[in-house]
Structure 1
């Protein structure tokens, strides 16, 4: 198998991750400030209902576009089969771009019926008491469905920008959309504070988010389409040379109805089952808590999830997306492995030179191995700080930012437990990104089967912890942790086997922090428990004092970890700076 890599791919992936992380920092900071104001107008029950509506919205978006996005990302990392097929799209770069645009319309076609189907299922499952105590719930659901369709309308332009690694356009789109969502949500909540709007402000904010994305992507996409003479509308792929006699005998065709590239659809279809299972597992906590607990408990968990998952949304998600793109480009299986062919998109302007240069497969595997180990170790070092300081900081931090209504609930204890869940969330994200980048069709189906088993484990753990032991939202955090641990173990076995097949060893123990760092974490953890009081709930001044005490311990702890990990930090810095040193 000939594996290819563009020498600038890693640099662009790192740059893209940096842009997305910066975007997330700014947009989440604005969102965070707006949410603190919103919390003053919300009860735990309304927050729980708004979380359910968000899951409905995310489900429509995820099922409609996730597998298609993965197929588009992997399309230019695979070769065409032998014969004239290879030249059919390379003959004209505009045709290949149009083929990518057409794939985006499949997400719209899937999203419209999904919004109606899932909306009907949700309304059918809502209890009469919830409908009575949550004003404008049905109207809000309809608006969320419209918001999902609006966001999906931007998909044809998005996939082109993503395929060209145009992270700047994505940064602009998400920044503007996030700002609009914050302004509309907060403005409508404040304006309707004496009118009992219920969850309607969240629905209006989400609709403005989708409209913002559509406007920016349509603007930039139209400009690119005009310069390169392709269309953002659905168009047939013209002037295809006739098929070879061999293809005629096999009955093969490159496109379905001259619009949709068949191998990409085949790959997306093979990953659809995995996407469904993955989404159920990702949002399974909300499904489970809605069945096994009260709306108030749902609100408590939603608050802990929003605060605890902030780091995952700020850092882990953009790194996961960029690493998936990076690993796909240098390690994705060839057609001899997957049995499918993908489009090789020709690029223009700043995204030129995406055609990889041939390099030995073992060299690429070693580079990917080093990069993956570096990511995992970086995550574990960050996780060490979170688990050392986070559980103790949860109570005073929540008192300061959320106010006495939430500080006097079960939210502080739930948030403290969530701090131990974040490391599992981080490791699973990057591990599954690697698997999605390199897995063959058979391996994807095998992973889907195992994820189904883990779903059963998750459900059983949730039932025991929520119904039998009555741990409430904390039990849900523990159940999610068990599920994530199972998924991480599976991915670890897959990763080791994958690199072993390429003659490269993957040392799991090599990603662990040094003994000195773990000792520093143990000492700092015990120290903050002794000096930081847990009774600061509802008192902002007392909470601030306790956080200052915690900072006094955190600073020397971070310095100690930096000292013990100085070789790794220096090697990572050199790699990011492009000096060519490997990371171990």
Structure 2
């Protein structure tokens, strides 16, 4: 029975990953095309303010308001009826706290941006109005958070796929309409963001309200949890579970740390770069992180929900006198470890692809997309270094997701301290590298930060599986010949970029592309020859979704 439950968890997790990846691929490719047209048609300063300063304001409000509560609530089994549904009541009451927290943070940080912006920025038409629109949109998005948490906890990935897909669709089209057609500048960006948030609120609340009213029966967990609309709202008589509060506090420190890591570069850009410089970095960052948003992030989020259920004994004391149960636990750990190893190897391979092929073709990609608009800037070099950073992000996402999702309360405290130390190292080297290498230094500091976090995550994995035989984490590293083929490709593509590629020559561009194709084909050949067993194992895991 337990094995069947874990199989269902794995199945739901994989299906969820496919839904999320599908959403990200379709929506991001679509939005990428429209956003490219927006970037070409809008002034660099306006785009820089929107992409860096407005997005930074929104990220601060959303991250500090909801991230800790979101992570804590997803670790609670709200379908458990053994305690009279107190888990569900606690999660709902805690999830609604994001709204008053967000309103308070909105007032503080909107004024912070107004008082710290440069004269150049304040003179841009409708800067304050656009800032206010992004503040309002952040509060609206927080209004949808309680329903988002419930959907994630119940593994209703299809709902998220649908709602966020429509939200991105409306945001993208409205951005093009307000900014390019109506030429509304910063106000246009704000209106599009508000439309996005409203779609999230209507979509998530609409799903739960409609299905509760219709007494939905085709989702067992849903029908077992909800039979009244009133259950979606907090009750003053409900007491939030103390362990849930403690977990939220622990995740709060992680959230602050994660915010500094994810948005630290925007803080540096906000205080040190011109609006045009911010625009160039934003374009490179959005382009370079495209794969992160539509592939790595969905896998990371799915793994965070899946790992606690694949390793369920992490939350309870193991039975000391029952050898059979101990053997079952060990077998469950082995199965979970195999899933972890296969996913990590896949991400290592994807990481190598970006690290070895990205720098050699970053100039070409920018020139093709933006019609040589950034030909005379350092955008191409910046994108090349960002590809190296994407490689580190690929590996860190799932490895850190494993640590945060299975760690006990006392282990989370240690993790927090380790992350704080790494965070200080990151901030220190950000300042040092920025002085030495300007905006490229930000990316180099990020690479160092990711490397340190990966090293600690692997150390945690080894400690986690140390008492279980036949688990070799070294299997997640690709074959040596595959790695060598990537190194050879890196050398040849960069030599071609330096000595052959000329943006003004069609012939040299074709030759450069041919070099890249040849290198990529030989690398894929080595992957097929040396990693076929891993490919079969990966396919075996994927086949669970059909069982």
The Cα shift of 1:38 comes to 1.0
Partners of 1:22 and 1:182 in 2: CA distance: 17
SS of 1:87 mapped into structure 2:
coil
- 1:76 corresponds in structure 2 to 77
SS of 1:75 mapped into structure 2:
coil
Equivalent of 1:229, from 227, 230, 241?
Answer: 227
Normalised by the length of structure 2, the TM-score is 0.89
Contact kept, 8 Å, 1:274 with 1:445, in 2: the verdict is no
Q: Deviations over 1:388-430 (max 9, x none)?
A: 2111111111100122222321100000111111121111111
1:71-220 alignment runs, 5 A limit = 71-76=72-77, 87-89=82-84, 97-132=88-123, 134-193=124-183, 197-220=184-207
For the structure 1 residues 579 and 292, does the alpha-carbon distance in structure 2 shift closer, same or farther, using more than 3 Å as the test?
closer
Question: More helix per residue: 1 or 2?
Answer: 2
Contact kept, 8 Å, 2:140 with 2:197, in 1: the verdict is yes
Q: Deviations over 1:177-235 (max 9, x none)?
A: 00000011111111343xxx443322222111111111111211102222242226764
Contact kept, 8 Å, 1:377 with 1:513, in 2: the verdict is yes
Q: List gaps (5 residues or longer) in structure 2.
A: 216-225, 319-324
Contact kept, 8 Å, 1:466 with 1:476, in 2: the verdict is yes
Q: Deviations over 1:416-471 (max 9, x none)?
A: 1111111211111111111111112222222222222222212221222222x2x1
Contact kept, 8 Å, 1:289 with 1:476, in 2: the verdict is no
The Cα shift of 1:381 comes to 0.8
Partners of 2:410 and 2:392 in 1: CA distance: 26
- 1:311 corresponds in structure 2 to 291
Contact kept, 8 Å, 1:383 with 1:423, in 2: the verdict is yes
- 1:258 corresponds in structure 2 to 238
Q: Deviations over 1:452-497 (max 9, x none)?
A: 2222212221222222x2x122111101111111111222212211
For the structure 1 residues 542 and 270, does the alpha-carbon distance in structure 2 shift closer, same or farther, using more than 3 Å as the test?
same
Partners of 2:472 and 2:273 in 1: CA distance: 42
Q: Deviations over 1:258-308 (max 9, x none)?
A: 254443233212211111111111111111232333333322221211111
Please provide the CA RMSD for this pair. 2.8
Partners of 2:340 and 2:68 in 1: CA distance: 23
Is 1:525 aligned to 2:525, yes or no? no
Partners of 2:116 and 2:20 in 1: CA distance: 37
Partners of 1:476 and 1:318 in 2: CA distance: 25
Contact kept, 8 Å, 2:167 with 2:195, in 1: the verdict is yes
The Cα shift of 1:55 comes to 1.6
Equivalent of 2:449, from 470, 473, 483?
Answer: 483
Normalised by the length of structure 1, the TM-score is 0.84
- 1:25 corresponds in structure 2 to 25
1:54-65 alignment runs, 5 A limit = 54-65=55-66
- 2:522 corresponds in structure 1 to 556
Partners of 1:337 and 1:63 in 2: CA distance: 32
Contact kept, 8 Å, 1:524 with 1:554, in 2: the verdict is yes
The Cα shift of 1:53 comes to 1.1
Contact kept, 8 Å, 1:74 with 1:332, in 2: the verdict is no
Q: List gaps (5 residues or longer) in structure 1.
A: 80-85, 238-255, 339-356
- 1:450 corresponds in structure 2 to 418
For the structure 1 residues 49 and 336, does the alpha-carbon distance in structure 2 shift closer, same or farther, using more than 3 Å as the test?
same
- 1:290 corresponds in structure 2 to 270
SS of 1:62 mapped into structure 2:
helix
> RCO (CA 8 Å, sep 6+): is it higher in 1 or 2?
1
